[in-house]
Amino acid sequence: MKYVDEFRDGTLAAGLARAIAREADSGRDYAFMEFCGGHTHAISRYGVADLLPANVRMIHGPGCPVCVLPIGRVDMAIRLALARPEVILCTYGDCLRVPASDGLSLLKAKARGADVRMVYSAADALALAAREPAREVVFFAIGFETTTPPTALVLRQAAAQGLANFSVICNHVLTPSAISTILESPEVRRLGTVPLDGFIGPAHVSTIIGSQPYAFFAEEYRKPVVIAGFEPLDVMQAIRMLVRQVNEGRAEVENEFARAVVPEGNLKAKTLVAETFELRRSFEWRGLGLVPYSALRIRAAFAPWDAEAKFGLDYHPVPDNRACECGAILRGVRKPTDCKLFGTVCTPETPMGSCMVSSEGACAAHYNYGRFRDVPVRVVDNSAPPNPDQETA
């Protein structure tokens, strides 16, 4: 197949659904986690879960970079933007609405006078610094391995151009560390409250890191991993491949997304990142807590462009809203509809938690595409004789 429409073909999807139902053992249950928020979005948007047999269940993972961003990191950016009028704080659109402390967000900080701007890329922030030499331009960088190389590139370009008014708050996190934390969590490893039979591996992340890093999870934890593209047929084929592995007692890394992912990944991008960043000893993830060696920081050679060092920024952990279940949803322990706030006070227009902010968040995806499936259908029997005592229109 060559064109995107072919990966959304309804007839092919129905055939894959029949194949999955035929191959799934009716005597057992299957539980697979799609780590990436892009897969969560695709599953909800295209109704993939409705095509699966009842004993094949998909569990949402923490693979949305906006969703796992802890409140304390957003607070750090807000404090900087409000306290330093010379600062222009730039970030991606989804970050602007992430709820922070005191009812604030970056967007609300902008309403209070902070110069906060949305950019489409790290390069946009760098270009702004070149145009505004009298201002301090700070790029609030987030994302998994996919968006890390562009941040590394602008840091190196800023150094080469001598742009002293440009710096980065680095929030880049690493996928394999998060998967390890999930597999080592009490819910999965000891208590068994979240059974996991395998993972759908992320697509864009894997174009950078390749398929090799997932071999550890297959070998050490006996959990199969199938890397999949983001189209509905990609996801369904990956589910079928996972069902086959479970049935055959195999735990291997398979690559459904072979049209874009190779075992070694993008060597040039990986080298660029390694030369610009180094591992943090620990980093807080929303929903996962402190995860060791799960994030990157800017190397000392680029310290003049590290906003945390340049402005003396301190990180202070902040607990989530007690009524919000985002943390449990990101760990796969709960579903969006288990949260009392879902669809009432918490909507994409008024998000209370991070899972409702990004379109890739589990709550936002379910709100936009799946919440009406949860409403019981009221069947009206039109064949019954009318009740004379009932008022009619």
Name the residue range of residue 99's domain: 71-174+284-310
CB count in 10 Å sphere of residue 9: 15
Radius of gyration for the alpha carbons in the chain, expressed in angstroms and rounded? 23
* Residue 385 domain flag: no
Ranges in the chain, pLDDT < 50: 377, 379-380, 388, 390-393
| Residue 247 within a domain | no
Q: What is the DSSP string of 127-195?
A: HHHHH-TTSEEEEEEEESTTTHHHHHHHHHHHHHHT-TTEEEEEEEB-HHHHHHHHHHSIIIIIS-SS-
Residue with tokens 């295209």: 46
Token pair 């600062």 in the structure block, residue: 87
Domains held by the chain: number? 1
Pick the closest to residue 172 from 132, 137, 127, 122 (CA basis): 122
Alpha helices in the chain (DSSP H): 10-23, 37-45, 48-51, 71-83, 106-111, 122-131, 148-161, 175-184, 204-209, 215-220, 232-248, 267-276, 307-310, 326-330, 362-369
Q: What is the pLDDT of residue 70?
A: 93
pLDDT of residue 202: 96
Residue 161 within a domain:
yes
Within a 10 A sphere around the Cβ of 50, how many other Cβ atoms?
10
> SS3 for 123?
helix
Q: Find where tokens 């009619």 sit.
A: 392
Here the contacts of 257-263 (C-beta below 8 Å, separation 24 or greater) are 257/203, 257/206, 257/227, 257/228, 257/229, 259/229, 260/203, 260/207, 260/229, 261/203, 261/206, 261/207, 261/210, 261/211, 261/227, 262/210, 262/211, 263/210, 263/211, 263/212
Whether this prediction's pTM lies above 0.85 is answered by yes
Amino acid sitting at position 320: D
pLDDT in tens, 3-17: 788 899 999 999 999
Angle at 257 between CA 254 and CA 263, to 5 degrees: 60
Residue 306 lies in a domain: yes
d(CA 316, CA 281): 16
Q: Is residue 106 part of a domain?
A: yes
Does some domain include residue 123?
yes
- 228 DSSP 8-state letter: -
CATH code for position 91: 3.40.50.11740
Residues in the chain: 393
Task: Indicate whether 140 belongs to any domain.
Answer: yes
**91 within domain boundaries:** yes
